[in-house]
């Protein structure tokens, strides 16, 4: 059963004698192949592991996309605030940035330092 069906019984015994891990592996393979319920459980476990890896990969990709979007929005907000600080017209900033004038005004207002007297 181990690795290659064409492997002779004598050669398999030699391999098992050389490495106990091979013997354990052969025992597990025999067990898995001999009982349908055990084989089904092993397949279900493999499927669950594959699904988990796929899910984690999707979550990672989603996290990266969210991070990129947030970084892009922060960069745009910084650019808008710099343009405002240089005295650029809000209508022009809205045109080139794609932000609404109202959003630019709110951004400018929220970036003002709170000075309590």
Residue 114: per-residue pLDDT: 55
- Per cent of the chain over pLDDT 70 is 91
Average pLDDT value over all residues in the chain: 84
Treating both helix axes as pointing N-terminal to C-terminal, what angle do 9-18 and 20-34 enclose, rounded to 10 degrees?
A: 130
Please give the average per-residue pLDDT across 37-64, as a whole number.
85
Residue 115 pLDDT > 70: no
| pLDDT digit string, tens, across residues 56-102 | 888 888 899 999 999 999 999 999 999 999 999 999 999 999 999 99
Q: Which two tokens stand for residue 98?
A: 């794609």
- Given a cut of 60, is residue 3 above it in pLDDT? no
Record the pTM.
0.49
Measure the CA–CA gap between 55 and 45, rounded to whole angstroms.
15
- Which positions ≥6 away from 93 have C-beta within 8 Å? 80, 83, 84, 99, 104
Q: What angle do helix axes 101-111 and 36-85 make, rounded to 10 degrees?
A: 80
Q: Where are the domains of the chain?
A: 9-111
How confident is the model at residue 53, as a pLDDT?
A: 87
For the chain, the 3-state helix, strand and coil shares in percent, each to the nearest 5, are 80, 0, 20
């Amino acid at each position: 059963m181990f690795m290659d069906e064409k492997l002779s019984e004598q050669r398999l015994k030699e391999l098992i004698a050389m490495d106990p891990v091979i013997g354990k592996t052969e025992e597990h393979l025999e067990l898995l192949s001999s009982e349908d319920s055990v084989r089904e459980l092993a397949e279900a476990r493999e499927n669950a592991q594959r699904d988990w890896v796929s899910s984690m990969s999707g979550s990672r990709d989603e996290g990266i996309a969210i991070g990129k979007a947030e970084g892009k929005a922060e960069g745009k907000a910084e650019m808008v605030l710099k343009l405002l600080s240089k005295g650029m017209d809000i209508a022009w900033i809205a045109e080139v940035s794609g932000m609404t004038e109202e959003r630019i005004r709110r951004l400018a207002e929220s970036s003002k330092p709170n000075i309590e007297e």
